[in-house]
Amino acid sequence: LQELQSSGRGRFLLEHAAPFPAFLTDSFGRQHNYLRISLTEKCNLRCQYCMPEEGVQLTPKSELLTTQEIITLAKLFVKEGVEKIRLTGGEPLIRPDVVDIVGQLHELEGLKTIAVTTNGMNLTRLLPRLKEAGLNAINISLDTLVPAKFEFIVRRKGFHKVMEGIHKATELGYHPVKVNCVVMRGFNEDELLGFVDFTKDLPLDVRFIEYMPFDGNKWNSKKMVSYKEMLDTIKQQWPELEKLPCATSSTAKSYKVPHFQGQISFITSMSEHFCGSCNRLRITADGNLKVCLFGNSEVSLRDHLRSGASEEELVQVIGAAVGRKKKQHAGMYNISQMKNRPMILIAFQLVICSHVTHVFPSLEPALMLFPLCQDALQNSPNSKQWGHTFSHWLTLSSTFDPKCLDASPISQVSVNYKSKGASPGSELGTMVPHASDSLTHTDEEGRATMVDVGGKPDSRRSAVAVAVVHLGEKVFGMVRQNQMKKGDVLAVAQIAGIQGAKLTSQLIPLCHNIPLNHVEVSLSLDENRYAVVIHSTCQTWGRTGVEMEALTAASLAALTVYDMCKAVTHDIVIEEVKLLSKTGGQRGDFSR
């Protein structure tokens, strides 16, 4: 606005601008100039975040909007004041005529921005043609930087395709490329720092989105990580984080690490809603107008079109729907109880794999640690298919585009930051207990007690543990050939080990909750013993050691190997679970 006011042409445009149409202005004065159109209900991924476990009933093709109907509605909205259209799904890029749709939208006079939200699987192949057709902006959904976690949750391979799509978008001049990341406790909140680091050398806007409720995704408040909690975590690593200015209608609170090419943003739908400046309307793939993402009130524009409604009649129908729009969250004060379409059927897509009730729920440790446990999945209609979703082993192979390696999983990246606990010299005192031959986890009367580490100095600590799982010749051969019905044994066990390290304090009663800076779990095949050999490494900067975290990681990885192989034989032996080495702490280093 200031730029317009500062120039003669700008002042002329402001003085002579036509008033915003009343039918796109609601009773609270919000002007809706942004339209999201879903091109399809279908998707080439099977993410738990979007799809309820019972699946979704797809609308018959005859009841979906045709290309001509999409263009007709878009033309009407643009004529009446809409300046931005975003194409969503399902996955919009699987629609065969998506390039043609973008081209026809580009011809609409008055439309300033054509955007797309995609899971990125087809982006590298289609983006050059989409750009030529007139695509202005891209949002790519990516909830994890760990390839195995990606493939396990979406039940498809393709992490490298998404990464290639992100790089292709930057190469073609899309600045910024927006990356949508839905943050869920117990699933990917440990990857926040990795995503921020992703913006260091690429012009990205990584948008951390608070987990929102939709039908079938079993939302609960304990899984939601708030904007302020995320911001606090990031500021521990980058205290110089700068807040950026944003437009009035923006849904994002944006920040930038100085000297990084990209930036990060927070979509605070739950903790700090932005309903007061909402300028968005949505049209579903079957032609229903939704004036609020959180509401289940819809008006069928398709039916009015097919019944021969005139343009004036359509305007009246749309205006009446906009006029009924509530002040916030569709008029609900507790949106966790709302009834709505599953996300896959709404013109709003934050796709990749955030609902993980049957995978990594933060308050269900057993299921987190044994991802393919049959008992945990007994109520899932697709449980027999879960085991086939991993790619063969985790290691990034030479077939991956080297650019994909830029996004290292946070579990493989050393991130050093000091504990927020008391430091030496605080009111807790600086006395460090002397080494003792007595047990430290019992009091004078023999009762279990947690050790007070408040007076200990911070130091770098690490630990390495090992476990061996003897499988026998037959099972060993099946694991080596990746023939187990439950899926890739080594890949699943590695994820279980990493998750186990992070959950140690919940499993071992008197262990402290330690902020781990680095976790690595590797599994190798020992043909001489027909065994899987597991090594785990944990690192932290703090007041207590991480040997229990390393031992838990090795143990849980070993138990997961057993769980995935027990259908073939129970003659499996887990042994040699032991600490190999540790560094740091008052008792000094240890090496076996």
Q: Please tell me the distance from the alpha carbon of residue 65 to that of residue 554, in angstroms, as a whole number.
A: 53
Residue-wise pLDDT tens digits, 370-394: 544 433 333 343 433 333 333 333 3
The contacts of residue 138 (CB under 8 Å, 6+ apart) are 115, 116, 118, 123, 127, 169, 174, 177, 178
Residue in 205, 563, 571, 589 annotated catalytic: 563
Boundaries of domain holding 146 = 19-346
Q: Are residues 202 and 60 in the same domain?
A: yes
pLDDT for residue 268? 85
pLDDT for residue 490? 92
**Residue 557's closest CA among 473, 481, 499?**
499
Q: Round to the nearest angstrom and report the end-to-end CA distance of the chain.
A: 69
Is 392 inside any structural domain? no
Is 476 inside any structural domain? yes
Is 494 inside any structural domain? yes
Before 433, cis peptide (omega within 30)?
A: no
Q: Determine whether 197 is exposed, middle or buried from the number of CB atoms within 10 Å of its CB (0-12, 13-18, 19+).
A: buried
| Residue finishing a domain among 291, 316, 346 | 346
Is 363 inside any structural domain? no
Is 12 inside any structural domain? no
Q: Are residues 339 and 473 in the same domain?
A: no
Q: Determine whether 294 is exposed, middle or buried from the number of CB atoms within 10 Å of its CB (0-12, 13-18, 19+).
A: buried
Q: Are residues 204 and 73 in the same domain?
A: yes
Is 396 inside any structural domain? no
| Residue finishing a domain among 309, 330, 346 | 346
CATH number at residue 167: 3.20.20.70
Q: Determine whether 112 is exposed, middle or buried from the number of CB atoms within 10 Å of its CB (0-12, 13-18, 19+).
A: exposed
Is 543 inside any structural domain? yes
- Element containing residue 290 per DSSP (H, E): strand 288-290
Is 515 inside any structural domain? yes
Q: Are residues 23 and 168 in the same domain?
A: yes
CATH number at residue 527: 3.30.70.640
| Residue finishing a domain among 327, 346, 365 | 346
Q: Are residues 70 and 213 in the same domain?
A: yes
Phi, psi of 55 (to 5 degrees): 80, 180
Phi, psi of 234 (to 5 degrees): -70, -35
pLDDT for residue 475? 94
Q: Please tell me the distance from the alpha carbon of residue 264 to that of residue 252, in angstroms, as a whole number.
A: 9
Phi, psi of 535 (to 5 degrees): -120, 135
Q: Please tell me the distance from the alpha carbon of residue 24 to that of residue 20, in angstroms, as a whole number.
A: 8
Extract the residue ranges of the chain whose pLDDT is less than 70: 1-20, 48-55, 212-221, 248-249, 270-274, 276, 294-296, 328-448
Q: Is 526 a catalytic residue?
A: no
Are 539 and 462 a contacting pair, CB within 8 Å? yes
Are 429 and 221 a contacting pair, CB within 8 Å? no
Q: Give how many domains the chain has, as a whole number.
A: 2
